[in-house]
Chains A and B, each alone.
Chain A
Amino acid sequence: NAGVMQNPRHLVRRRGQEARLRCSPMKGHSHVYWYRQLPEEGLKFMVYLQKENIIDESGMPKERFSAEFPKEGPSILRIQQVVRGDSAAYFCASSPGDLLFFGSGTQLSVL
């Protein structure tokens, strides 16, 4: 059973470019969560999705950030016009119920 798969593992972007982060949940899981972690800080919730639906996006900035989880394919977290402050580790998790299974994360570096 493959775990939660995230790619790319590392992503480097220049200011103003777009970043696309992908997440494939564990087989059978239809709930996906995105979290952001800055150095020396805890995990901050961004968005919770089910297939084709955004359930809770209360932690996601209103501008430049969007997320989707289509009927087919991985969940995508998209950051437009990246700024240096977007540099962080972005973790995706999937869930069968109460607990979360995390991927290894995407480390985004904005130059």
Chain B
Amino acid sequence: SQKIEQNSEALNIQEGKTATLTCNYTNYSPAYLQWYRQDPGRGPVFLLLIRENEKEKRKERLKVTFDTTLKQSLFHITASQPADSATYLCALPPSGNTGKLIFGQGTTLQVKP
């Protein structure tokens, strides 16, 4: 069955460092992958979309890579700030895409000043 895995352990880093979060998936080949940010008590907010023919995408301090051979995406936040503390979710369209997205469990990032 199709599966998305994100590190369930919280990631704690010091302000100014680069945070790297991992998303692994199995048993399918999605046309694209998305990353969302979720703050406590709020709905997820879209951050970046990367397509299968793109190796890397950047937006300000964010960088996403997509390795379709390894079936993995890495999400980087450079020069991290306490305001970056949140839960980050990766999401993929399932096989036989009907328009919905399947979400990973999310990784909580805590940036300490």
Residues of chain A touching chain B, judged by Cβ–Cβ distance below 8 Å, are 4, 31, 33, 35, 41-45, 48, 55-56, 91, 93, 95, 98-105, 107
Contact = CB atoms under 8 A, between A and B. Distances in A.
Given A41-B105, A43-B89, A101 B98 contact: no
A5 B76 CA distance: 31
Contact of A43 (B45, B49, B99, B103): B103
Given A31-B99, A48-B100, A55-B98, A42 B43 contact: no
B100 A43 contact: no
Contact of A104 (B42, B89, B100): B42
Please classify how large the interface on chain B is, using the bins under 10, 10 to 19, 20 to 34, 35 or more. 20 to 34
B99 A42 contact: no
Given A56-B99, A105-B42, A99 B89 contact: no
B102 interface: yes
A105 B43 contact: yes
Nearest to A101: B46
Contacts of B43: 4, 91, 93, 102-105
Given A4-B43, A42-B106, A99-B46, 20 more contacts: A31-B99, A33-B99, A33-B100, A41-B105, A42-B105, A45-B100, A45-B102, A48-B99, A55-B98, A55-B99, A56-B100, A98-B34, A99-B49, A100-B101, A101-B46, A102-B44, A102-B45, A104-B43, A105-B41, A105-B43
